[in-house]
Amino acid sequence: MVNFKRSSGRTLTEMRKMYAKVGVIPNADGSAIFSFGDTVAIAAVYGPRQLHPQHMQDPATGILRVNYDLLSFSVYERKKPGPSRRSQEISKVTEWALSPVLDLKEFPNTVIDVQVYILQADAGTRTAGINAASLALAHAGIPMRNLVCSISVGKLDKNLVVDLDKEEEDYDEGEGATDFPIAKIANSDKYTLLQLDGKIQPEVVKKVLDLADKACDEIYEVQKKALKEVTEQ
């Protein structure tokens, strides 16, 4: 629908303002903050370090262990501290989104711990978290094939829109909102995460991926700039 207007005034393909900075947690081996508008994610990397308990060590490979959570004050209704089904799911998909760029066999018996916390949530927290975690891994000096970039494409009343905010996610007219979070290896056609919350026609998926590709190119530029800022210091 050509006349569709987003509540934020953004065009259909316009992302929220992005911000990225690395080296925000001096104690960590690598760290980064990444935001899409009011959604703010912070990530810290520790490792590779010996995995404990020892019986969990694998002499053939290291492991990537992600822990994602929302801070209690990050949402309007205070979030009860501690893990939930949602945080476990997002931790797992974040591991899957990032693992393909790492060569964990280089680090037998070890773990790379990635902690992702959401300081402020306004939808798109898993995608902001993946972007922050990818930057934090690079900042930790862990060899990576490339950065991972992540974005959500949605469908509101038959319109494809990039980077849904919470008001848009909750949109409840027409067919309601469909949310399609995607992660990919930068500068490639290798997708490392495709999730779908809602309904989408198979023939529309290609358009969704094209929009995600363009958005990921923009995210990649913001990530590279943040890494460059720290290496030039």
What is the rounded distance in angstroms from the CA atom of residue 16 to the CA atom of residue 163? 7
* Interaxial angle between packed helices 125-139 and 85-98, expressed in degrees from 0 to 180 and rounded to the nearest 10: 50
Instruction: Please name every residue paired with 160 in a beta bridge, in sequence order, or none if there are none.
Output: 155
207 lines the binding site for ligand CDP (CB under 6 A): no
**Which residues fall within 8 angstroms of residue 225, CB to CB, at 6 or more apart?**
20
86 lines the binding site for ligand CDP (CB under 6 A): yes
What is the rounded distance in angstroms from the CA atom of residue 140 to the CA atom of residue 163? 28
122 lines the binding site for ligand CDP (CB under 6 A): yes
121 lines the binding site for ligand CDP (CB under 6 A): yes
Q: Per-residue contact track with ligand CDP, 165 to 194, x per CB under 6 A? A: -x--x-------------------------
100 lines the binding site for ligand CDP (CB under 6 A): no
State the residue number with the nearest CB to ligand CDP.
125
75 lines the binding site for ligand CDP (CB under 6 A): yes
71 lines the binding site for ligand CDP (CB under 6 A): no
Least distance CB 111 / ligand CDP (angstroms): 25
Output 34 or 107, the one with its CB closest to ligand CDP.
Answer: 34
What is the rounded distance in angstroms from the CA atom of residue 99 to the CA atom of residue 229? 25
DSSP symbol at 25: -
Q: Is 127 helix (H, G, I), strand (E, B) or coil?
A: helix
Name the site residues for ligand CDP (rule: CB under 6 A): 70, 75, 79, 86, 121-126, 166, 169
